[in-house]
Amino acid sequence: MAKVLMRGNHVVAESAVRAGCRFYFGYPITPQNEIPEYMSERLSNLEGGTFIQAESEVASIHMVIGASMAGGRVMTSSSGPGISLKQEGISFLSALELPAVIVNMTRGGPGLGNIAPAQSDYFQATRGGGHGDYRNIVFGPNSCQELANLTYEAFDLADKYRTPIIMLGDGMLGQMMEPVELPPEIQLKKLPHKDWTLTGAKGRPSRFIRSLILDPTEEEEHNWKLMRKYEKITKEEVRWETFFTDDAKMIVVAFGIAARIAKGAIKRVREEGLKVGLFRPISLWPFPSKAIKDLTKRTKHFFVFEMNMGQMVEDVKLALEGSGEVHFYGRPGGVILTPLEISRVVSSYYYQKRLG
């Protein structure tokens, strides 16, 4: 199939529609406005398509819950401050075991912050984000092509596990244009039947979907049920990429757009003969802990680079369980680094550790 040149925000929207998303509820916030704008037109021209620009992020995530209860494939999107507002509904989606895809094109924070690309919402996304004991599947794509592929897949996974999925991008991924091969349109009729939806009690007993479970032992069992689901996801849905790790004396760990920048830096230092590789978690939850630990057979030196003050670095340390030395370099606030800057910091650390 021919490639098309598309902006990340349009890629995520078009890929969602091709994955069968017929319901989008959102609220404007930069730098993701192209998603609701695209969805407004695309879904209006599609049979069974629904687009609503809601009165708030809070309302939009609860519209998501309603359409998901009805069995629809449904998406919402936002950025930092708006994602904070959606957390109530994300906790409910998890508790109610409803599938949905939520896109966060992250911006600098905290507070209103700015509209520049940042990775400051890693904790919020990977730790659940709202109240209660739950996790979301979180993907951190680093290119428009990967954004297309993972968004497409996210709808199947959300349905399979009946759980919300967070697409954790950033302002750069949302705004940049790249050639993309779009996935084919699925046929809604061929999707597996959902036997839990609220469609009216016709020819079957009535159903209810609730998250209030007053009996603590029953609530505990619900928590364990979610836990068993999360364990299955942890076994089956871990994704990562390695780049020049086979002979690496030092490994850079970065996700999303930061990993893309780090790749450029690694190419530079490789030209100078430094044996540096990259480990890129693609699923941020479940985190590829075992794959990182396996790398300690090769080296003990890990260099974590993030566009924040240090969030994923905690997961790297947990994964290594003390078996490797972790150095962190971060630039928060929406600052975009160049591969040159990273290459300088990486090579300086490399020589400090007398690896070359």
Partner 1 sequence: MKKVFSRPKSLKKTPFHYCPGCGHSILHRLIGEVIDDLDLQERVIGVPPAGCAVLAYNYFDIDMGEASHGRAAALATGLKRAMPDRIVFTYQGDGDIAAIGTAETIHAAARGENITTIFVNNGVYGMTGGQMAPTSIPGQKTTTTPGGRKESRDGYPINLSEMLAVAKGSAYIERTAVNSPANILKTKKAIAKAFRVQMEGQGFSLVEVLSPCPTNWKMNSEESWKWIDEVMAIHFPPGVIKDITGDKKDAH
Q: Which residues bind partner 1 (CB under 8 A)?
A: 23, 25, 50, 52, 54-56, 58-60, 62-72, 74, 88-89, 92, 96, 198-203, 206-212
CB of 289 to partner 1, least distance (A): 33
d(CA 266, CA 252): 8
| Distance from the first to the final alpha carbon of the chain | 45
Cβ proximity to partner 1, 63 vs 172, nearer residue? 63
Cβ proximity to partner 1, 193 vs 202, nearer residue? 202
Cβ proximity to partner 1, 62 vs 107, nearer residue? 62
Cβ proximity to partner 1, 60 vs 120, nearer residue? 60
d(CA 26, CA 61): 8
CB of 219 to partner 1, least distance (A): 14
Torsion sign over Cα 13, 14, 15, 16: positive
CB of 207 to partner 1, least distance (A): 5
DSSP helix/strand/coil, 227:
helix
The H or E element containing residue 102 is strand 100-106
d(CA 346, CA 224): 43
CB of 30 to partner 1, least distance (A): 22
Q: Which tokens go with 330?
A: 């971060």
| HEC assignment per residue over 129-144 | CCCCCCCCEEECCCCH
CB of 37 to partner 1, least distance (A): 19
Cβ proximity to partner 1, 95 vs 258, nearer residue? 95
CB of 58 to partner 1, least distance (A): 7
Cβ proximity to partner 1, 63 vs 148, nearer residue? 63
Cβ proximity to partner 1, 10 vs 86, nearer residue? 86
d(CA 309, CA 338): 17
The H or E element containing residue 77 is strand 74-78
Cβ proximity to partner 1, 54 vs 355, nearer residue? 54
d(CA 100, CA 336): 30
CB of 155 to partner 1, least distance (A): 15
The DSSP result for 148-176, as a single string, is HHHHHHHHHHHHHHT-EEEEEEEHHHHH-
CB of 63 to partner 1, least distance (A): 4
Identity at 78, one-letter amino acid code: S
Q: In whole angstroms, how far apart are CA 199 and each of 21, 95, 207, 263? A: 18, 20, 9, 49
Compute φ and ψ for 257, nearest 5 degrees: -65, -30
Q: Are 25 and 64 in contact, with CB atoms under 8 Å apart?
A: yes
Cβ proximity to partner 1, 92 vs 350, nearer residue? 92
CB of 201 to partner 1, least distance (A): 5
